[in-house]
């Protein structure tokens, strides 16, 4: 089966940046870069602001990221139920009108370093409402205090504890969370209990490849090439990623048997081409892989729904397609 681009504009001439995205980025223009001050060389923003490297820099980056996410996604109407699964903190978001028996596990982004807590509550609540399902949003431990493989081990432990086989499981993740969700899907496949579906939003599936979009979108679109290097360094903590499928699911020996998957990408994202490569590799392995590019959007659009109408529309379409996959109503 072939990967399905999002429309005739995908993989063609560069689309103009969405004006709603531009307005949001302009509001944040005087803030430091996402990972400013977290590792040597990661300081600075649009105005040259210097961060404090090390522990304080990580703390400030987390606070800044959470504030931006809450500004762009809003706050949920109801606070989540906080629990645990497999020793990992879980924030439960339940649809007011539950129409699906599926269990949806959401793994947040933030480069394995940021996110967690209430930063993604509105994102997970939106997912629950759109799917009419229970959503378990994982609060795995974060690097650099807990580098690789701890965030992955936490994700695996929580999903294994939650997935008892009594109802369909969907794994959803954005950015670093999509990496963790993809690796988890491979592990469950190998255990003979693959998820029913995955939604991977701008995933980084390959620590070894070099992709043109990292250069093309290196600056000016929220996530920068410097940010990609900084969060990777913090997550790896000196670990050599070469040959490690736990970091690069794109390089698995086989992707056959991977669950039906939507891979969503953004045109102005350093991770765009890696996401395309993963979707195409899934399709080549016979997986029902649906490549959905959003040429006018940026990395982070999954959490920009309260601020950017085009992001809101994109997320609504992705959730509708995922709901259809879970009910068997959408076939390709």
Position 51 confidence tier, pLDDT thresholds 50, 70, 90: very low
Specify the CATH architecture of the domain 19-327. 3-Layer(aba) Sandwich (3.40)
Position 53 confidence tier, pLDDT thresholds 50, 70, 90: low
- As a whole-number percent, the residues of the chain with pLDDT over 70 amount to 90
Q: What is the pLDDT of residue 55?
A: 82
Angle, CA of 217, 317 and 289, to the nearest 5°: 70
Q: What is the pLDDT of residue 5?
A: 43
Q: Is residue 8 over pLDDT 80?
A: no
CA-wise closest residue to 178 among 208, 154, 200: 200
Catalytic residues: 175, 269, 299
Give the C-alpha separation, 238 to 7, whole Å.
40
Give the C-alpha separation, 8 to 39, whole Å.
40
Looking only at Cα atoms, what is the longest distance across the chain?
A: 53
Q: Lowest mean pLDDT of 38-52, 169-183, 286-300, 315-329, name the range.
A: 38-52
- Chain-centroid distance of CA 57 in Å reads 23
Give the C-alpha separation, 53 to 36, whole Å.
8
Render 217-273 in DSSP notation, one character per residue: TSSSSSS-HHHHHHHHHHHHTT---TT-TTT-GGG-S--TTPPPEEEEEEEE-TTHH
pTM here is: 0.92
Q: What is the pLDDT of residue 14?
A: 85
């Amino acid at each position: 089966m072939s990967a399905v681009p999002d429309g005739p504009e995908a993989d063609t001439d560069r689309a103009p940046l969405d004006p709603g995205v531009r307005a949001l980025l302009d509001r944040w223009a005087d803030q430091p870069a996402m990972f400013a001050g977290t590792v040597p060389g990661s300081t600075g923003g649009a105005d040259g602001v210097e961060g404090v490297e090390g522990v304080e820099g990580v703390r400030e980056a987390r606070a800044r990221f959470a504030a931006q996410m809450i500004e762009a996604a809003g706050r949920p109407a109801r606070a989540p139920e906080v629990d645990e699964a497999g020793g990992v903190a879980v924030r439960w978001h339940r649809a007011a009108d539950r129409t699906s028996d599926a269990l949806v596990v959401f793994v947040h982004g933030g480069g394995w370093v940021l996110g967690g807590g209430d930063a993604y509550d509105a994102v997970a609540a939106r997912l629950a409402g759109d799917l009419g399902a229970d959503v378990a949003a994982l609060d795995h431990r974060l690097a650099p205090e807990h580098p690789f493989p701890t965030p992955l081990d936490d994700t695996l432990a929580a999903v294994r504890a939650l997935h008892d086989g009594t109802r369909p499981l969907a794994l959803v993740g954005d950015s670093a969370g999509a990496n963790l969700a993809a690796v988890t899907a491979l592990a469950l496949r190998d255990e003979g209990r693959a998820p029913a579906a995955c939604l991977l939003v701008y995933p980084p599936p390959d620590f070894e490849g070099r992709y043109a979009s990292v250069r093309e979108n290196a600056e000016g679109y929220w996530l920068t090439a410097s940010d990609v290097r900084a969060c990777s360094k913090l997550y790896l903590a000196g670990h050599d990623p070469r040959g490690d499928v736990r970091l690069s699911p794109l390089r698995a020996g086989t992707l056959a048997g991977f669950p039906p998957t939507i891979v969503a990408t953004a045109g102005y994202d350093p991770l765009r081409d890696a996401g395309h490569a993963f979707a195409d590799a899934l399709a080549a392995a016979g997986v029902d892989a649906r490549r959905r590019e959003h040429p006018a959007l940026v990395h982070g659009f999954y959490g920009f729904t309260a601020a950017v109408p085009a992001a809101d529309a994109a997320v609504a379409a992705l959730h509708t397609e995922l709901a259809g996959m879970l009910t068997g109503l959408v076939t390709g």
